Amino acid sequence: MDMMGEGASAIPGSEVTAVTFRLTEEQREIRAMAREFALGEIRPHAADWDARRSLDPEVFSKLGELGFLGMRVPEAFGGLGLDLDTYLLVLEELAWGDASVALAVAIHSGPVGHLLLRYGTEGQKTRYLPRLASGEILGAFALSEAGAGSDARSLATLARRDGEDWVLRGSKKWVTNGGQAGIVVVFARWEEGEGMNAFLLETDAPGWEVGKREVTMGLAASETVEVALADVRLGADALLGEEGEGFGYALEALDVGRAGIAALALGIARAAFEHARDYSRERVQFGRPLAAFQATRFKLADMAVRITSARSLIRMAAHALEPQGNGGPGRGEPDPESPSARSLAAMAKLTASEAALWIADEAVQIFGGYGYMRDYPVEKLLRDAKGMEISEGTSEIMRLVVAREVVQEDGS
């Protein structure tokens, strides 16, 4: 199968072409629009946002105007109706501009949008999707807790029936967009029944209490908070999907979320690579540019290899997670010759996040003393990259997901 050609993606500034799926004309145009936005509206502000630990609200207004907050929302509900592959291309470009912006979009459009589209009722979709697409409200995803990070089965937050209503009590940790969000997908253990439930919670509901803002090593401008649910009362129409099926929904959302984090990591990796490459051409030591030394050239070559590998896995995961129209295996139609969609999402996230951290670290090394200073961009990229190895499941959890399939164990 010929997967090269005009639409094939390439490492910026090099002659190394990625063996990957072709991009359509529409994908190239949307990616170019995202790159232009990142260059003009995100990058000039990224250092200031990082220092202030806050994103300007205007960036979300502009993202909404371009349709980038409704990328996965069908056109009938005011969105762009993009496929997962194209959506991940845009996330990569936004992260190339600033990963904090891209993370907010990834949570809003990834796990939240996916679950609403897949399991929401027509009433829920009509009520929330147009507002999410326009940017009128942001979405957040509340699964993790102080005692239930990697082990999502250990949720302590409870949901109990009270007549026709549900009452939620507990707390959540590490909720991205939690202080700004208008709608949150909240997971809680069903007190009276088996399993876990997912709920659509509007944040003006009495009892939803935003707690402290976390001070993070990287992704400093991203709003990550803890929240408390003090007997939050929700109507019957707030239940998302079927009763007791929340754990499966959470895993499915995490598959999509991990593909998104992989795309973010790729954007960080590309940015670090480009900064290191350009600096190595300009910085002269011992009468020669750094790029003339074999030690530097080998670092740049290894960066290019890791970027290309990550990009290919991300696109494979996208096609497996959403096979319609591209001939890939579906969730219910496993291809015995290929890893499952879940495993590919984990592989992509693991490969891209570890590549981003390694590349950012090597970029700092190429910059030398300057790279350790906050006046230069690679220091921030290194801090942001570390978050990619933790978000939506640590690297250790990704290896467990892949290993279960490799040794053919049951489990999620």
Domain layout of the chain by residue ranges: 25-138, 140-244, 247-406
Among residues of the chain, what percentage have pLDDT more than 90?
A: 85
Mean pLDDT is lowest, of 13-27, 107-121, 382-396, for 13-27
Longest dimension (CA), the chain: 80
Distance CA 51, CA 364 (A): 19
Task: CATH number for 25-138: choose from 3.40.50.720, 3.40.50.1820, 1.10.540.10, 3.40.50.2300.
Answer: 1.10.540.10
CA neighbours closer than 13 Å in the CB half-sphere of residue 75: 2
Averaged pLDDT for residues 264-273: 98
Q: What is the pLDDT of residue 60?
A: 96
Q: How do residues 290-302 score in pLDDT, each as one tens digit?
A: 999 999 999 999 9
302 contacts 282 by C-beta, under 8 angstroms? no
Q: What is the pLDDT of residue 152?
A: 80
Q: What is the pLDDT of residue 275?
A: 98
Averaged pLDDT for residues 10-31: 65
56 contacts 45 by C-beta, under 8 angstroms? yes
Helices (H) and strands (E) in the chain, counts: 12, 10
Confidence of residue 324 (pLDDT cuts 50, 70, 90): low
Question: Which single residue is written with the structure tokens 């232009």?
Answer: 36
Q: What is the pLDDT of residue 410?
A: 57
Instruction: Report the catalytic residues.
Output: 392
User: What's the token pair of residue 197?
Assistant: 């439930």
CATH number at 140-244 = 2.40.110.10
Mean pLDDT is lowest, of 27-31, 168-172, 334-338, 395-399, for 334-338
Distance CA 215, CA 120 (A): 34
Q: Specify the DSSP class assigned to residue 24.
A: P
Q: Is the pLDDT of residue 171 over 50?
A: yes
* Averaged pLDDT of the chain: 90
109 contacts 133 by C-beta, under 8 angstroms? no
Q: Is the pLDDT of residue 98 over 80?
A: yes
Distance CA 44, CA 40 (A): 7
Q: How do residues 32-83 score in pLDDT, each as one tens digit?
A: 999 999 999 999 999 999 999 999 999 999 999 999 999 999 999 999 999 9
Q: What is the pLDDT of residue 325?
A: 41
Q: What is the pLDDT of residue 151?
A: 82
Q: In this structure, what are the phi and psi dihedrals at residue 290, rounded to the nearest 5 degrees?
A: -55, -35
User: What's the token pair of residue 301?
Assistant: 């070559």
The CA-based angle 263-264-267, given to 5 degrees, is 90
Confidence of residue 327 (pLDDT cuts 50, 70, 90): very low
Q: How do residues 353-399 score in pLDDT, each as one tens digit?
A: 999 999 999 999 999 999 999 999 999 999 999 999 999 999 999 99
The CA-based angle 117-119-122, given to 5 degrees, is 70
The CA-based angle 383-387-393, given to 5 degrees, is 165
Q: Is the pLDDT of residue 16 over 80?
A: no
Q: How do residues 141-162 score in pLDDT, each as one tens digit?
A: 999 999 887 888 889 999 999 9
CATH number at 247-406 = 1.20.140.10
